Amino acid sequence: MLLQVNYKSGKPVYLQVVDQIKAAAAAGTLQSGESLPSIRPLAEELRVNRNTIAKAYTELESQGVIETIPGKGCFVRPNNSPLKKDVRRKLLMEELDQVIVQAHHLQVPAGEFLELVRERLGVMEEKQRANQAKEFGA
Amino acid sequence: MINRTSDSKTSAVIPAAPPETAAVIEVKGLKYTYGRAEAVHDLNLTVKPGRCYGLFGRNGAGKTTTMKCLLNLLRPQGGSVRLFGLDPSRHEVEVKRRIGYVPDYVAFYPWMTVRETLDYLASFRSHWNTETERDLLNRFRLAPDQRTGGLSKGQRTQVALVAAICPEPELLLLDEPTSGLDPIVRREFIETVIGAYQEGDPGKRTILVSTHLITEFEGLIDEFTIVDKGHDVLSLHADAARDRYQKIRARFAHEPPAVEFTGALHVRRQGRELELIANGEGPQIMEVLSRLAPESLTSEGLTLEEVFVATLK
């Protein structure tokens, strides 16, 4: 799995790593049980401070996306979040509010915005189907 | 030259180790003048343990002078310098034991081989990780029996880096370490710092890199200080800087109205287009611009190098 760091995005580097790994896990590009590179080689490859990667992995672990097995490495956890349903909803709501503010600044009206959401959900479903097919086809 | 540490009582008493969160480097009001040229005046710098700290500045801004004061190669003429809570001019050995240093101009005895050079440098150290040395020599493909006089600049820098990392020092001081090196060697340098040096206990691995080649070190830097004309102009965490500074571009159907933007640097207007750099007021400026009904409105963050240029231009 190839990660990219964008220093112009205004987003902290560790968050970019967290988000990309979460996206890959959600789409099935990274499958549950699959191993992640360990901290040192990933930091070297991206030429990023080792503590930044360590912070990203700690965050991913606290969100239940990955787990560390001592002596073996880091693995993607199967998709069962340790958080309760209403907590998860609230977290998503906060993210949605931010996106709604962005849409306002970018002058995307509500109707178009919802269309866009449907479209992107479709894209994600496609990816998941494609990755599942690969998993069973292989 | 008067040896100020000749008082045996002072040099024998080493103060108790400072607590864990105390700064590794603390520079306050540093002042140094070469003849009539004031190189550094009122420079402040704090580096905490475990951080990778960037000292950025144009050529002649005072970075190397500051480094030399940290290493007791120059005595401050005003202000104070403390490493690990100690004054490097009064506790030189104690301080230097805990530092690894890669200078901008790497000079070895040219008749010595790589092996002899490393053995010579290791003899000054109480600790030397021979496994790391072996790994790094392999990685850099350095022949131990080659004379250092016959090495390229990049190879000499690599030897210097090996010598700085193998003692596993608590503080790594890098002074323009990659200038004059080709891009591949520069990348390997950074990767080696991340891989071989940062491997140890994070609280005992601190880096100060002084450079004007900021792009290379972008990923490594946690915090930085921009130095200009001898004193500190801006000190920020890297993430905070990338969030605070934004390049905003707008295009309008007609000539954009002349609006005053507070907290905007480098406002440029050309025809129907407007570009500015927001310093902390990004969202507010976006709000103001979006109310003027632009055809397009975009914002993107700045790299540390762009922040550097925006601050100093």
Phi-psi region of A136 (alpha: psi -120 to 50; beta: other; left: phi over 0): alpha
pLDDT band at B15 (very low <50, low <70, confident <90, very high): low
Q: Which residue in A4, A5, A7 has the most chain B C-beta atoms within 10 A of its own C-beta, making it the best mutation to test that interface?
A: A7
Q: Which residue in B193, B194, B237 has the most chain A C-beta atoms within 10 A of its own C-beta, making it the best mutation to test that interface?
A: B194
User: What's the DSSP call for residue A11?
Assistant: S
Q: Where are the alpha helices (DSSP H) in A1-138?
A: 13-27, 39-46, 50-62, 85-105, 110-137
Q: In sequence order, which residues have a C-beta less than 8 Å from that of residue B202 and are 6 or more positions away?
A: A50, A51, A54, B50
Q: Is the pLDDT confidence value at B18 over 80? A: no
Single-letter code of the amino acid located at B262: T
Query: How many Å apart are CA A124 and CA B7, to the nearest integer?
Result: 73
Nearest in space to B114 (alpha carbons), one of B73, B160, B70: B160
Q: Is the pLDDT confidence value at B215 over 70? A: yes
What was the pLDDT predicted at B145? 96
Query: How many Å apart are CA A112 and CA A100, to the nearest integer?
Result: 12
Chain A contacts in chain B segment 144-183 (CB below 8 A): none
Encode pLDDT of B109-119 as tens digits: 999 999 999 99
Phi then psi dihedrals of residue B32, to 5 deg? -150, 130
> Quick check: A74 and A67 in contact, CB under 8 A?
yes
Nearest in space to B79 (alpha carbons), one of B24, B87, B11, B48: B87
Q: What is the mean pLDDT of residues B295-311?
A: 92
Is pLDDT larger for residue B259 or for residue B171? B171
Encode pLDDT of B176-189 as tens digits: 999 889 999 999 99
Contact B191/A at CB under 8 A: yes
Helix (H) or strand (E) holding A74: strand A73-76
Nearest in space to A3 (alpha carbons), one of A56, A66, A51: A56
Contact B187/A at CB under 8 A: yes
Size of interface A-B (CB pairs under 8 A): 77
Is pLDDT larger for residue B187 or for residue B20? B187
> Quick check: B160 and B102 in contact, CB under 8 A?
yes
Nearest CA in chain B to A104: B290
Q: Is the pLDDT confidence value at B11 over 60? A: no
Q: Which residue in A48, A49, A59 has the most chain B C-beta atoms within 10 A of its own C-beta, making it the best mutation to test that interface?
A: A49
Query: How many Å apart are CA B244 and CA A26, to the nearest integer?
Result: 30
The tally of CA atoms less than 13 A away on the side-chain side of residue B60 is 4
pLDDT band at A83 (very low <50, low <70, confident <90, very high): low
pLDDT band at B8 (very low <50, low <70, confident <90, very high): very low
Single-letter code of the amino acid located at A124: M
- B304: chain A residues, CB-CB within 8 Å: 7
Smallest CA–CA distance, residue B144 to chain A, in Å, is: 25
Encode pLDDT of B228-281 as tens digits: 999 999 999 999 998 899 999 999 988 877 777 877 888 888 889 999 999 988
- B286: chain A residues, CB-CB within 8 Å: 105
pLDDT band at B87 (very low <50, low <70, confident <90, very high): very high
Instruction: Kindly report the three-state secondary structure assignment for every residue of chain B.
Output: CCCCCCCHHHHHCCCCCCCCCCCCEEEEEEEEEECCEEEEEEEEEEECCCCEEEEEECCCCCHHHHHHHHCCCCCCCEEEEEECCECCCCCHHHHHCCEEEECCCCCCCCCCEHHHHHHHHHCCCCCCCHHHHHHHHHHCCCCCCCEHHHCCHHHHHHHHHHHHHCCCCCEEEEECCCCCCCHHHHHHHHHHHHHHHCCCCHHHCEEEEEECCHHHHCCCCCEEEEEECCEEEEEEEHHHHHHHEEEEEEECCCCCCCCCCCCEEEEEEECCEEEEEEECCHHHHHHHHHHCCCCEEEEEECCHHHHHHHHHC
Is pLDDT larger for residue A88 or for residue B22? B22
Contact B134/A at CB under 8 A: no
What was the pLDDT predicted at A138? 53
Q: Which residue of A9, A11, A49 is in closest CB contact with B220?
A: A49
pLDDT band at B5 (very low <50, low <70, confident <90, very high): very low
> Quick check: B125 and B149 in contact, CB under 8 A?
no
